Structure 1
Amino acid sequence: MKDPLYLDYNATAPLRPEALRAYTDAAGQAGNASSVHSFGRASRKIVEEARRRIAVSIDADPAQVIFLSGGTEANATALGSVIDERKPERLLVSDVEHTSVLQAFPDFTQTLPVDSQGRVTADVVAEALDETNAATRVSVMLANNETGVIQPIQEIAEAVHARGGLLHCDAVQGLGKRPLSFSELGADILSLSAHKLGGPQGVGALVLRNGLHMEAYLRGGGQEGRRRAGTENVAGIAAFGAAVEAAVSRLEEFETLHKAHHSMEQEILKAAPTATVFGAETERLPNTSCIAMPGVSAELQLMSLDLEGIAVSAGSACSSGKVEPSHVLRAMGAGDSLSANAIRVSSGWASKPEDLERFADAWIRLYQRQHQSSVA
């Protein structure tokens, strides 16, 4: 096997050195962050410094940041526990949301269609809101985990707020890969996760606009301002703060990756004109390519690339390791056959342009082998 090449950052990113140092330093600190003695106060200081780092990085106030276990809990909490003066009777979500949003409250969830590029427009959201008099919560992700397609959140926020709704935005994939300002985005609630940008797994955050009340989803303690019970993961939170700060300070590195992804896609399309790059005609994350190889299943592609030492994925990493047609691609109008042939290539902070060149070479060799065998 050749040297391993990791191109599955959207599933989880390798731990950044800054995050590892912060984690190691904090893990050596004894004391529960809720304890009043000096050890507890030292742990509390670590948590609050991480909260400050994250808030500054996304143009928010530290009091707006609530720590919890990750993106899935953040989404469930945002949709089920954050309330304003009215209890929502309907939840509107885009067809391409992560399953933690789509399956959070299926009994009162209505999905919103996307166009062929995977975008839900503000007009679609407005029309759906105009059809109901129920107090409505809307959830639209910032950037799709499979295609990288970026949604027009600011426009959607204006449509939602003009109709008295509340907007939640799953920004798990966007944080650390593009500029993100909570105040400018316009969402009322934001979900974040550490491990997508080089922090540790098992820690995330929810960001609330001022004035929103939150009933604790997990009860039994006064942590996080009584908004999320459970002893804080001090070391994980410290590493989260360090990872966010490091990622945001180096966003320019993703411009190089953006060019490398574009070149890789062009090389593939030149060798295989019938291949499909999903979301190619709209704005995407700089690190994400979702590509369908005509006539070759994603499962075969994953196995063949793995033998080449290259790690990529098919769809979301939250599907218990199953390789099956993507609901995201189906929503974009791709049939089951095309969806079943798609893989995701996602780079990150430790990736180099030559990594994408190596992937393109391996993809093209596989395509040519399969094409020649089918002709024979």
Structure 2
Amino acid sequence: MNTEFLQAVQEIEKQKGIPAEVLLEATEQALLSAYKKNYGINQNARVHIDRVTGEVKVYALKTVVEEVKDPRLEISLEEAREKDPRLNLGDVLEIEVTPRNFGRIAAQNAKQVVIQRIREAERNQIYEEFSSREGDIITGIIRRVDQKNVYVDLGKTEAILPPQEQIPGENYKFGDRIKAYLVEVKKTSKGPNIILSRTHPGLLKRLLELEIPELYDGTVELKSIAREAGSRSKIAVYSKDENVDPIGACVGNKGLRIKNIVEELNGEKIDVVKWSPDPAKFIANALSPAKVTSVEVFEDEKVARVVVPDYQLSLAIGKEGQNARLAAKLTGWKIDIKSESQVGGI
């Protein structure tokens, strides 16, 4: 241990942002453990690394007492005052006990501690960086795919796209660039565990904000999202500004804005509907592209009875009930759909 070690610690402080004092204190603690382990000494002690020279010294700590019962931990007042006349009962005397070959042990332990602390600091930095991005879109490169998980390289670390967060039927290939929603960052002993999603409604929300300036700046509000990943989604939008058409802003010129998002989601259809404070109007809009004859709402039960023309019934319900199901998710209402002839026949 010498000035070269101190210089190395200072360099680490600059490059990794780990305070030199933190590294030195951690090294001192590690050296103390090594001293007790290697020399089998059960006593109070401390290790000190000189902040200027890098020299390592070990000190035994002995309490000044009237009658010594344990010489490993105590020293008599008379003997203590031979070393320092200023000492009184209850004071602690430090006696240097540095072993002759302690420098070699010190060097080995110092290296291990510094490496460990660098790893810990890097893990913490990665955790802090990515935990602050929870709920945002992140871009990475697919590095490997096993039977279930997709592993995505984010540059400084790797993230996991688990099977339940993958879009059904989507093909993930090595080397492909992928956009995903950062769901969660967990701290583990091996470093941060970063979970991504391609199915989360938040992915669609963030993609919309990236593509549509009016959503990002608040001119248009995104009121709700209902998504069945890989198949179809519905979004409800609203603008307080009468001069701004919220649906037109989202769809874009010749449908270009929404088309870009559909392409990013590999063909997932997106219905853009107008939100209304009137539940009946909102429910009718949510069932788009079906045309609705009438909507009767029951506030207490949060149930809506919807009537559609006979030829619109299958469109309103959708394939395997998807349109009705997404409309219910979007509005938060239970929707009962009937055709005009069904209602007339009752």
TM above 0.5, one fold?
A: no
Interval containing the TM-score (normalised by the shorter chain): under 0.3
Q: TM-score, normalised by structure 2?
A: 0.19
- Greater Cα radius of gyration, structure 1 or 2: 2
Considering fraction of residues, name the structure with more strand.
2
Q: Which has the higher contact order (CA 8 A, sep 6+)?
A: 1
Q: TM-score, normalised by structure 1?
A: 0.18
